[in-house]
Amino acid sequence: MSKHDSLKASLEELIRGELASAETYRLLAKREKDPRKKQILEQLAEVEQRHAKEWSQRLEELGGKPPQIRSVKPLFGWQAYLAQPELVLRRMEEHEDEAVKRYLQLQTIGDERTAEIARRVMEDEEEHAHVTHVLYSASEAEHPAERILRREHWHVRGGSWIGDAIYGINDGLGAVFGIVSGMAGYSAGSAAGHQTVLIAGLVGTLASALSMGSGAFLAAKSEREVYEAELARERRELHENPEEEIEEMSLFYQLKGFSKEEADAMAHRLSEKPDQMLRLMAHEELGLSEASFPNPWVSLLSSMVSTAIGGLIPVLPFFFARGWAAVFWSAFVSVLAHFAVGAAKSLVTTRKWWVSGLEMTAIAFVVGVLTYLIGVLFNVHV
């Protein structure tokens, strides 16, 4: 294949890629509910469509014929339709970065007219990669660090020791109540199995407390490490490409409802204070704030102690009673404790205390009955 034919083949491929990108942005715009984001996505689609038209004109100038595409399909197949828009935007950012590399190669082939178009289109693609980065950063409900740290829907991210303590009691109570119920079912309330239930409950309490404490410590420590690493990355980008970072900040303001003129003015004014801009970008883009970080040692102690307290509740009756009496009192105090913990969760949620309490009580019944029956089943077959 001659150099001329190779160039025409490359342009045909570029046209297909630009049309597919335009269709992907249109699809994302249809799926988007936020009118501001929808408008931005539609604008991106229009630019990609214009790129395809420019390359088609250049292909005709070279004596070629633009590809006849009856139905343009979006990039990434079924994922474009079903995957979370944020994930599709992440892939679009990668796609735009790859397009920039292709246009860099086109500038070295010796065809000045093609190189001129490639330079202009490459600038648009670089901007598109930047815009998609802002869009998915602004859309994500939580940063990857939050997914690591998130335990349950009611747990407060970067919260105080109160949230850690409530979760710790809940975890210790639920886990050890299950152990005690199962072992009680296995021993069938006999005096001979009393010591086994007691030891199993204490060991389960210790294991749960150590596990929760170390997990809370590492989670709090990891959050700070992630924040510092991302802050360093943002600082480097702000130093190397200040104009792009200003544009990114402007886009964040536009997504919050400001006009482009207002957003640009605010972003440029903020750029005069680099340190403040850096922290604000980390907060807007990553959802991280240094002021919200928990102390790792406080998280460790509150989680470990509270888990131990929660774990001891189902075990305590076995210190003072034996046989079925111990089993009854263990179940009774555990159910009450589950209700109390559920009610306490209203401190870190907006739910009504009695609804949350009844929910935890129902969970206690399910856990107690299932683990007890499993214990009985093992006793019958062993």
> For residue range 258-285, what is the model confidence (pLDDT) as tens digits?
777 888 888 888 888 877 777 777 666 6
- Is the pLDDT at 109 greater than 80? The verdict is no
What integer pLDDT is reported at residue 143 of this predicted model?
41
Q: Is residue 146 part of a domain?
A: no
Q: Domain tally for the chain? A: 2
Alpha-carbon gap, residue 342 to 312, rounded angstroms: 17
Q: Which residues of 177-192 are buried (b: 16+ CB within 10 A; e: fewer)?
A: bbbbbbbbbbbebeee
Which secondary structure element, helix H or strand E, spans residue 67, and what is its range? Answer: none
pLDDT cut 90: percent of the chain above it? 21
Residues 219 and 149: beta-carbon distance below 8 Å: yes
Q: Is residue 225 part of a domain?
A: yes
Q: Which residues of 104-142 are buried (b: 16+ CB within 10 A; e: fewer)?
A: eebbeeebeebeebbeebbebbbebbbbbbbbbbbebee
Tokens standing for residue 244: 């792009």
Residues 132 and 92: beta-carbon distance below 8 Å: yes
- Is 115 in the same domain as 170? no
- Is 96 in the same domain as 205? no
- Taking CB atoms within 8 Å and a gap of at least 24, the contacts of 374-381 are 374/182, 374/185, 375/181, 375/182, 375/183, 375/184, 375/185, 375/186, 375/187, 376/185, 376/186, 376/188, 377/185, 378/185, 378/186, 379/185, 379/186, 379/187, 379/188
Alpha-carbon gap, residue 276 to 330, rounded angstroms: 55
Residues 248 and 281: beta-carbon distance below 8 Å: yes
Tokens standing for residue 264: 């640009």
- Phi–psi pair at 159, nearest 5 degrees: -80, 180
- Is 132 in the same domain as 175? no
- Is 176 in the same domain as 114? no
- Is 88 in the same domain as 229? no
Residue 366: how many other CB atoms lie within 10 Å: 10
27-31, 85-89, 114-118 — most confident range: 27-31
Alpha-carbon gap, residue 158 to 349, rounded angstroms: 14
What integer pLDDT is reported at residue 284 of this predicted model?
63
Q: Is residue 151 part of a domain?
A: no
Helix (H, G, I), strand (E, B) or coil at 329: helix
Q: What is the CATH number of the domain that holds 7?
A: 1.20.1260.10
Alpha-carbon gap, residue 79 to 60, rounded angstroms: 34
DSSP secondary structure of 105-125:
HHTTSS-HHHHHHHHHHHHHH
Q: Which domain holds residue 302?
A: 161-381
User: Measured in whole angstroms, how far is the alpha carbon of residue 61 from the centre of its chain?
Assistant: 48
Q: What is the pTM of this model?
A: 0.52
Helix (H, G, I), strand (E, B) or coil at 293: coil
Q: Is residue 144 part of a domain?
A: no
- Is the pLDDT at 145 greater than 60? The verdict is no
Residues 164 and 306: beta-carbon distance below 8 Å: yes
Mean of pLDDT over the chain: 81
- Is 28 in the same domain as 80? yes
Q: Is residue 154 part of a domain?
A: no
- Is 183 in the same domain as 57? no
Q: Give every CB contact of residue 81 below 8 A, 6+ residues apart in sequence.
A: 27, 74
- Is the pLDDT at 41 greater than 70? The verdict is yes
- Is 292 in the same domain as 341? yes
Widest Cα–Cα separation across the chain: 95
- Is 169 in the same domain as 116? no
Give residue 69's pLDDT band: very low, low, confident or very high (50, 70, 90): confident
Q: Is residue 170 part of a domain?
A: yes
Q: Give every CB contact of residue 24 below 8 A, 6+ residues apart in sequence.
A: 74, 75, 76, 80, 88, 92
**Which is more confident, 367 or 255?**
367
- Is 220 in the same domain as 327? yes
230-234, 307-311, 338-342 — most confident range: 307-311
- Is 340 in the same domain as 222? yes
Q: Is residue 70 part of a domain?
A: yes
Residues 266 and 258: beta-carbon distance below 8 Å: yes
- Is 48 in the same domain as 118? yes
Q: Is residue 226 part of a domain?
A: yes
